[in-house]
Structure 1
Amino acid sequence: MTGVWLSKMITVTGIVLITFLVIVIFFQLKRKTFVVLMFLPLFFFYSQWYELKNISLFPPHTTDFQGTIETIPKIDGNMISFQYKSSGEILVVRYKMNSADEKRSLEKLEIGMHCFFNGTLEDPQPQSHYFGMNYREFLHNKNIHWILEPSQVDGESCVKDKKENLISRIKIWRSKSIKQLETQFSQNTAGLMNALIFGYREKIEIETLESYQKLGLTHLLAVSGFNVGIVSYFLYLLFVRMGIVKELAYVLIVIFLPIYIVLTGGESSIVRAGIMGMLALCFIVFRKKINPAMLLSIVCIIMLSWNPLYAFDLGFQLSFLMTFVLITSFSLFKSRSNIQLLIITSFMCSLFSFPIILYHFFEFSLWSLPINILYIPVVSLVLFPVSLFVFTVIQLTPSAVYLLKLPVQILFECSASFLEIAQKFNGMLLLGRPSSWLFLFYFLAILYLFYEWERNDRIHLRFCLPFMFIIMVQACIPYLNPSAKVSFINVGQGDSVLIELPFRRAVYLIDTGGAIPFKKEKWEERNEEYDVTKKAVLPYLKGRGIRKIDGLILSHPDMDHAGGTVFLINNFPIETIYMPKNNNLSELETEIIESGKQKGIHVKNLRKGMQWSIGNSQFLVLHPSEKDTSSNNRSVVLWIKLYNTSFLLTGDIEKEAEHEIINNFSRLNVDVLKVAHHGSRTSTTDQFLELAAPEFAVISSGRNNIYGHPAIDVITRLKKKKVTIYRTDENGDIIFEAAERGLKITTVQ
């Protein structure tokens, strides 16, 4: 795995990890060291070769396609998407439906259908958020390189493929079985049952899925080794009852397991468990013994040989890490009761997954351990067996399902409600994303804890001290950093700027972003409308390890600037909200003020001339004045100085407000200008640029937005003044780090 990782990125932490690996392997294996270490360069060069071949065969201008639907079509509002295999290559098809009739027609699409499409190939979007998903890399690791956007998807032109192979038939049966459960039970109950049986989680309600994620229970919805064990055990009992000898029963289970892998979606965790199960049974049949760690290593090598990019899959990492931890800790399980075993295994898995969960989700639930101890038996001994039983009943005697429907739905809905209530109790440890060196030290501290536990045959608080010390170090680092950071968060067609003062004396968020609502018909509504504040701003705050906003400054109450305020009020601690004074409050402003009062948040008005300072950081409000004008021209204009770098944040002011500022201030001389109104031609006049005289300009606008922002005129004016331009639609998140030694600028792209 180290060889694969290094093929993509060589870092100081990676070199330290290699050194640590070599030392451990040398002392552990001695004479066999060379044989083991040869895998490092072997997989390094193999990964390089694999990447050279991991390219698309389609020219970018290709427009005609014929192929087969490979995954269950997902319909969400007016969008349908699925994976589609054409000429041996997988494409992601994404199509926006135009009417309710068309939607009803496309609901008939099924996995395995053969379709002809005419459309265009689009590059997957690269990463545009520091703490967001890299969708392009995610697809690349699955050997997918294009998104196909058809000009038309005609359900009638898609036909069932008569030449179905075994894998296709299994996938089709899986799809029909999933739909069968969906027609018999409520959406949430069917979604949970399908997740447990088939590894299909698409229809679980958002609230329930978020509860599982926040409480660290998502692994229970992934089909893995436990499911393989249960299914194999029931099959063994069935075969033995039928009078089949043990050896033949084992062989039949080995034959079934590849089918089960396909039935459950073929995710990395189930592939790992399935191959391990098959190999273990083969060794039993041939009466050979093998060390479980050796068996796991063989499976790891097999999977990475098939696709080395598995190493970057979170499910693969967690699956192998948790299994490795458990099978190498047998000495801790001796003479333990079932309850003790459950507590120890839950504790071990929670602790070892801690750095990985922190890296991806920035926070860890303190309720994770007790909830896992309580909920693992519920899922393992109740929900999963009930799901299998109900599914079997549906297959054998469909009419009997009506007797089971009500009690089963009550069981699953009550379990979901319990988690939704539990996750509302604040038990999140928010630390942010650990740096690579902290990530390494976390695992060293965890290994030390378990080494001492195993050596002493008991656990002491002092064994946990290094781990607790690393947590304290990560929590304190921002308060020891003398630099100030101004982050322009990519919120599409909107604004959101995060300001972190030196030593994190205070944190200010200027605007929250937000979507402008458009009226939709019922059939167009999605299960969860995209909320840029929830998907971009909140993860950015958490990724930076910020636990409180000292001041939320709303430049003006338009949806694209303040639309996410109520969400943030309800989901993140805020001390004070600052708004421009307005005698005629809009509906959004009224809602913000009422929500703030309910949470005990101070709401204050900003006006021209107000100023304050924190340490060496200075803030001055240049606008608005007392004049009654348009919403855009009432925007708060804020001048900020951090060390020797000054910033001018202009909201959505237009030329009228710019002229007012010109009349009130003879010279500003700012280093960084946040261009007003997303680069609209009604702002950023030559006279205003003369006054500001910026060295850098930042334009916050959405990719391919309908307003044509930023205007060519504005770009031309900035270039004439030799201003360096940064744009969120092209650069993603943009960070200006100000320090005594100067200014450092970084972008995602």
Structure 2
Amino acid sequence: MVFVLIKVPLIFLAYLTVLLYFCIFSNNIIIGCIFLLSLGIALWRKFYVFFPLLLIFGIYFYLFNAYHSQKMALPEVAFHQITPRIDTLQVNGDLLSFRGRVHDRNYQVYATLQSKKEQTFFKNLAQNCRISFTGNLEKPAAQRNFEGFDEQKYYSNQNIYRQIKIRQINAVKLTHNFNIWLLRRKGIVWAQSHFPRPMSSYMTGLLFGYLGKDFSQMTTIYSALGIIHLFALSGMQVNFFVEVLRKILLKIGIRLEFIPFFKFLFSIFYAILTGFSLSVLRALFQKNIPAKGLDNMAITTLGLLLVYPGFLLDKGGQLTLLYAFTISMLQQFSFTKSNIREALFKTFALNLIAFPLLIFDFFSFQPLSIILTIGFGLIFDKIMLPLLLITFLLSLTGLSVNLNVLFLLLEKMMRHLYQWFSYTPVFGKPSLIGLLGLFLTAGLLVDALRKKKLRFFCAFSLLLILFFVKHPVAPTITMIDVGQGDSILLQDRWNQETVLIDTGGRLTLPQPKWKKAHFSTNADNTLIPYLKAEGISTLDHLILTHTDADHVGDFLTLARTIKIRDVWVSPGELKVPTFVHQLKRAQLPIHIVKSGDKLPIFNGHLEILSKGYTHKGDNDDSIVTYGDFFNKKFLFTGDLEQEGELKLLKAYPRLKVDVLKVGHHGSKTSSNPYFIRQIDPQLALISVGKKNRYGHPNQETLATLKKAQIKILRTDQVGAVQLIYHHRKWQVKTVR
């Protein structure tokens, strides 16, 4: 079985169409070359009918892409009323979010609720309405970090080009019109109000494809164990409901030839009921197409691209299509005479083929997920889904069945597993060439599993590619965009040595219980994905410059996800009780710094110039580090202020630097003009949050830097900043 030699014209047409799709949407020269080579094969095989079809698809994709660009460039139009798509309503503490529609345009909406009464109203709202508000209209945030989440791209793929930040809800007018979204909302609210947690969360997740923010902790656990996809409604659920429908129709006397028509109507209903989940759409397409095997897969792919052109721009769409394609391929072949061995082999092969795309999208892979998916997949699909459906239907008749103890036991088990396997193996993000190489070697390895010599060659090739993915060749220094905070990564070639200076974090203030929202930390969205993309599963050293939350607030989150060999702190930081409590909880080796301490990295050392001046763990107690790396001098100052800067100069009167990480986010209390003149940097890096409440960086500081003719790079303007040592010189790269 060699995948590339199977000659199925229809699947080859789907393959060419997908290549054309990515040529248009990614504008990548490598994909373009593969597409042209594949076109040549089609011409050689005399598949002439493909060419007019590809032309039609190409025009369609081009127009869709142009439509995206046009919508993003449209001028903002002021309005003060919006109609929510009621099934997207989410209440998270005092935060309200939903998707709405005005003048045939879709918007993502956020609001802060003003009272517990208002919170209760929206939690239980199961009626269409129109909301009058006062607020701001703006574009979603662009990508902030290398390989980071691009909110703008994510929403545009769903035909959303603006978001609304509501300052005040002025009125809510209830309407009595009915639509299918309302039916989904009523089902969700019914489950949430008639069943206890966590049972209600599993019910809304498995029946309606909806997981609320109150399930966020368990979402993290299921994600770390690699089985969050169990909540992604797909083929198993579709097969279950379609089979139930078929049996009911036959019981009530519907003739067999009419059943496909009813299945089609049910498919539309179920797709809407589950919020147009991509995996459900794919499964329903496959279920309603009469063709079999790879022909079914090909028609499904082409149909999805016509009906939902943004399908393959979404990670979920890519994964569900890859899984379905691989299953279709594996069904064509029988590998062993034992049913158990056959099932195990196909499970292994499926995960091996999916592995390259999983690490391309998520940078890590939990091997345990293969076993957990088999075990918990059966529990979810064969036991929980029928039980929850029956329980939900019984509740509509007034009969209440409480199965919450089963879900409490399940979650207890999952938490224990998470404690044992909290660190997920990290592989890094492959380049496009690396991704294609991994797909090729994974496919050949599946094909060669019964051929010993070829098997070892393919396995070695796969591991070799993974080694280069996980161990970048070029040394880099990256100022990660963590918003209003600091986090700087020093990464030696081959990941020989890694040093992180600060973790970023956000200040949290005490709030009434009803206002407390379930948030992922800032590090979960910025720092940790970047470290994983770079193949970093272990940090050699973490330097925490001082105790402000925007520098150390995400320390514990980082420690739970990435292994840390030791933490460097100043003596003054150990006088701050809350910080000491964090260190104790982390249970990591601690090194108390002193001036002159050195960490070997690059071609030199990162040296501690100051262990702090106030002994209080505050701004002027920041640990200051310096390094002369490949003939460029770097100075990292934490939140050092002007008094500390002058003390630093007094201790090191001949200090000169090429690259300065500006102290205290460019505040007017830092960057003393005399200090700047004396150290004479060429490049100033400022880590600062966009539109932050402190007004950083201060205009006086910017004027000081500009007067000294220093180039300024700010994370609020250009996103993350990376300095790469390549061809014997440092090169600067920014996200935007």
TM-score by length of 2: 0.92
Change (3 A) 1:291 1:656: same
Q: Is the Cα–Cα contact under 8 Å of residues 555 and 636 in structure 1 kept in the other structure?
A: yes
What RMSD over aligned residues (CA atoms) do the two structures have, in Å?
A: 2.5
Distance 1:430 1:240 in 2: 50
Residues 452-463 of structure 1 correspond to what in structure 2 (within 5 A)? 452=448, 458=450, 460=452, 462-463=454-455
1:159 aligns with 2:174: yes
Displacement of 1:425: 2.7
Other-structure match for 2:597: 610
Residues 302-321 of structure 1 correspond to what in structure 2 (within 5 A)? 302-321=303-322
1:470 aligns with 2:480: no
Residues 554-565 of structure 1 correspond to what in structure 2 (within 5 A)? 554-565=544-555
1:45 aligns with 2:63: no
Distance 2:497 2:26 in 1: 35
- Which is further off, 606-615 or 512-521? 606-615
Other-structure match for 2:508: 517
Change (3 A) 1:627 1:335: closer
Match of 2:185 among 135, 160, 175: 175
Other-structure match for 1:660: 647
Match of 2:410 among 415, 440, 448: 415
Change (3 A) 1:526 1:566: same
Other-structure match for 1:35: 49
| Paired residue type of 1:418 | M
Residues 68-217 of structure 1 correspond to what in structure 2 (within 5 A)? 68-110=84-126, 112-154=128-170, 157-162=172-177, 164=178, 168=179, 170-202=180-212, 205-217=215-227
- Which is further off, 708-717 or 10-19? 10-19
Displacement of 1:419: 2.8
1:548 aligns with 2:538: yes
Distance 1:533 1:24 in 2: 47
Residue aligned with 2:198, SS: helix
Residues 376-391 of structure 1 correspond to what in structure 2 (within 5 A)? 376-391=377-392
Q: Is the Cα–Cα contact under 8 Å of residues 487 and 501 in structure 2 kept in the other structure?
A: yes
Distance 1:556 1:448 in 2: 52
Residue aligned with 1:101, SS: helix
Other-structure match for 1:347: 348
Distance 2:126 2:71 in 1: 25
Change (3 A) 1:102 1:464: farther
1:714 aligns with 2:701: yes
Change (3 A) 1:467 1:85: farther
Residues 283-322 of structure 1 correspond to what in structure 2 (within 5 A)? 290-322=291-323
Q: Is the Cα–Cα contact under 8 Å of residues 188 and 204 in structure 1 kept in the other structure?
A: no
Distance 1:277 1:546 in 2: 42
Other-structure match for 2:444: 448
Other-structure match for 1:696: 683
Other-structure match for 1:537: 527
Other-structure match for 2:21: 4
Q: Is the Cα–Cα contact under 8 Å of residues 133 and 169 in structure 2 kept in the other structure?
A: yes
Q: Is the Cα–Cα contact under 8 Å of residues 576 and 616 in structure 2 kept in the other structure?
A: no
1:431 aligns with 2:427: yes
Distance 2:148 2:446 in 1: 33
Distance 1:50 1:473 in 2: 35
Q: Is the Cα–Cα contact under 8 Å of residues 70 and 111 in structure 1 kept in the other structure?
A: yes
Q: Is the Cα–Cα contact under 8 Å of residues 336 and 342 in structure 2 kept in the other structure?
A: no
Other-structure match for 1:273: 283
For each residue in 1:576-605, what CA deviation from the matched residue of structure 2 results, as whole angstroms up to 9, or x when unmatched?
Answer: 211122286101332244245x34x2x222
Other-structure match for 2:363: 362
| Paired residue type of 1:273 | A
- Which is further off, 580-589 or 670-679? 580-589
Displacement of 1:480: 6.8
Match of 2:579 among 583, 589, 598: 589
Other-structure match for 1:254: 264
Displacement of 1:707: 0.9
Other-structure match for 2:558: 568
- The answer for unaligned runs of 5 or more in structure 1 is 281-289
Residue aligned with 1:265, SS: coil
Distance 1:629 1:210 in 2: 35
Q: Is the Cα–Cα contact under 8 Å of residues 513 and 559 in structure 1 kept in the other structure?
A: yes
TM-score by length of 1: 0.90
Match of 1:264 among 274, 278, 294: 274
Change (3 A) 1:17 1:186: farther
Other-structure match for 1:498: 489
1:484 aligns with 2:485: no
For each residue in 1:292-345, what CA deviation from the matched residue of structure 2 results, as whole angstroms up to 9, or x when unmatched?
Answer: 322222222222123322121122212222112112222434776654454234
Distance 1:332 1:583 in 2: 63
Distance 1:592 1:216 in 2: 28
Q: Is the Cα–Cα contact under 8 Å of residues 482 and 504 in structure 2 kept in the other structure?
A: yes
Q: Is the Cα–Cα contact under 8 Å of residues 510 and 552 in structure 1 kept in the other structure?
A: yes
Displacement of 1:567: 2.9
Displacement of 1:471: 3.0
Q: Is the Cα–Cα contact under 8 Å of residues 607 and 625 in structure 1 kept in the other structure?
A: no
1:398 aligns with 2:398: yes
Q: Is the Cα–Cα contact under 8 Å of residues 602 and 629 in structure 2 kept in the other structure?
A: no
Displacement of 1:111: 5.7
Task: State the number of aligned residues.
Answer: 716
| Paired residue type of 2:725 | A
Q: Is the Cα–Cα contact under 8 Å of residues 515 and 532 in structure 1 kept in the other structure?
A: yes
Q: Is the Cα–Cα contact under 8 Å of residues 71 and 84 in structure 1 kept in the other structure?
A: no
Other-structure match for 2:331: 330
Q: Is the Cα–Cα contact under 8 Å of residues 644 and 740 in structure 1 kept in the other structure?
A: no
Distance 1:416 1:17 in 2: 46
Residue aligned with 2:712, SS: strand
Q: Is the Cα–Cα contact under 8 Å of residues 205 and 211 in structure 2 kept in the other structure?
A: yes
Residue aligned with 1:145, SS: strand
Change (3 A) 1:729 1:94: same
Distance 2:675 2:185 in 1: 61
Displacement of 1:174: 1.7
Residues 610-629 of structure 1 correspond to what in structure 2 (within 5 A)? 610-614=597-601, 616-624=603-611, 628=615
For each residue in 1:664-712, what CA deviation from the matched residue of structure 2 results, as whole angstroms up to 9, or x when unmatched?
Answer: 2233331110000110101101111112211111111111111111000
Other-structure match for 1:683: 670
Change (3 A) 1:255 1:584: closer
| Paired residue type of 2:525 | K
Displacement of 1:464: 5.9
Q: Is the Cα–Cα contact under 8 Å of residues 632 and 654 in structure 1 kept in the other structure?
A: yes
Change (3 A) 1:267 1:479: closer
Change (3 A) 1:459 1:218: farther
Tell me the percent identity: 25
Change (3 A) 1:91 1:23: same
Residue aligned with 1:363, SS: coil
For each residue in 1:600-633, what CA deviation from the matched residue of structure 2 results, as whole angstroms up to 9, or x when unmatched?
Answer: x2x2222333345446222222224666577211
For each residue in 1:346-381, what CA deviation from the matched residue of structure 2 results, as whole angstroms up to 9, or x when unmatched?
Answer: 223211211111012111111011112222221221
Other-structure match for 2:253: 243
Displacement of 1:565: 2.1
Change (3 A) 1:686 1:583: closer
For each residue in 1:141-198, what CA deviation from the matched residue of structure 2 results, as whole angstroms up to 9, or x when unmatched?
Answer: 11111112234224x5321243x3xxx1x22122111211112222222111221111
